[in-house]
Amino acid sequence: MSTKIKICGLTKPEDIELLNALEVELAGFVFYKPSPRHLNQDRAAQIASRCRPEMQRVALLVDPSDDEVDMALAAISPHHIQLHGHETPERVSEIRRRGACDIIKALPIESADDFATARDYAEVANWFLFDAKPSPDGLPGGNGDAFDWTQISAYDQSQAYLLAGGLNAQNVARAIEISRAPMVDISSGVESAPGEKDPQQIEQFVKAVRFADTIGKE
């Protein structure tokens, strides 16, 4: 089975055109004001409208209010809402009902013990996203830090997951080999500056993932 790719933090229409050409499976749009990749409703709608029909749109939110959820829904009609904050299972369930779409719950990972948190969200999350635990002053995601991929062996839930944090074209094949991740997620690893996606780096990353798929996950 091929590894799905999610490119997150897209900020320009030309980003989408490249992802369309490369047949990337998921496109992520950030609705979190402190992030350099934040989009307002109009800008997000303009960019997301370029997505080819087969591409799945993901709205990234952090501890959102109902109004913020509604704004993201109106902007991009997401297939998935990715929650990157401290949302409780109860709040995730509320957002899932409100959005009527799948939920990706991001979980910060520092040690193998952190995967136990997934059990709390087993009834409300469709997928998980495992990212390195940020520093106290860091953003919830997109920091370019990696965790020990071998720790994923501690994950014991049935939901599929995305591997994120510190990935790039040079290490993603190794990351897939170690983690057996069915999906990978990248943002800062394909940027020339925060919020500025680099076309060459995106192409190299996609090529590296596709190459990893050809050699298989044995």
Residue 196: which of 33, 2, 51, 36 has the closest Cα? 36
| pTM across the whole model | 0.93
The pLDDT, as a whole number, for residue 143 is 52
Phi, psi of 28, rounded to the nearest 5 degrees: -110, 135
Please give the Cα distance from 145 to 138 (Å, whole number): 10
pLDDT for res 140: 64
Strands, E assignment, 76-124: 80-83, 102-109
Residue 66's SS3 state is helix
From residue 154, how far is each of 6, 112, 130, 167 by CA, in Å?
23, 6, 12, 20
Confirm if 108 and 151 have CB atoms less than 8 A apart: no
Question: Considering the chain, what is the average pLDDT of its residues?
Answer: 93
**How many Cα atoms occupy the beta-carbon half-sphere of 104 within 13 Å?**
29
Say whether 209 sits in a helix, a strand or coil.
Answer: helix
**Predicted local confidence at residue 142, as pLDDT:** 54
* Residue 153 phi, psi (nearest 5): -60, -20
Q: Which domains does the chain have, with CATH numbers?
A: 4-215 (3.20.20.70)
Residues of the chain predicted below pLDDT 50: 217
- Could you report the per-residue pLDDT of 59-118, keeping only the tens digit for each? 999 999 999 999 999 999 999 999 999 999 999 999 999 999 999 999 999 999 999 999
Active-site annotation, residues: 8, 131
Give the separation between CA 38 and CA 46, rounded to whole angstroms. 14
pLDDT for 191 equals: 96
